[in-house]
Amino acid sequence: MTTNETTLPQPESAYAPRLVAVGGLVLLAPLVFVVGAIVLDDSLFGDGSIGLASEASGLALALSALTGLLAAALPRATLGRQLRTKAVMVQYALALIAPLIAAMD
């Protein structure tokens, strides 16, 4: 009598997207200073007021942080691998677009 070893499909690990999400949170620290420097430069040497683009860049950074925290902290049963990967892509897109939005002011 022979026995066949059947391999059950293993669920995909959420470790890699979580690690990339934490890396995005670490990336936010210098980007906050870059956006702050751009806004400060505009307020001192520009028109002297903070415009809508400056506020939008701060909002983009805040949404990036929130998206990264959700992607890193939610359990696998709540957030699947594909959705977690897309959340990490949105996190990086928001983080990288924030200095560009601040520079438009």
pLDDT confidence bin for 93, thresholds 50/70/90: very high
Give per-residue burial for 5-34: e unless 16+ CB within 10 Å, then b: eeeeeeeeebeebbebbbebbeebeebbee
Question: Could you tell me the pLDDT band of residue 48, with boundaries at 50, 70 and 90?
Answer: confident
pLDDT at 37: 95
31 vs 9 pLDDT, higher one:
31
DSSP 5: P
Mean pLDDT (the chain) is 89
> What pLDDT does 76 receive?
87
- Mean pLDDT for 47-66 is 91
Q: Are 89 and 22 in contact (CB under 8 A)?
A: no
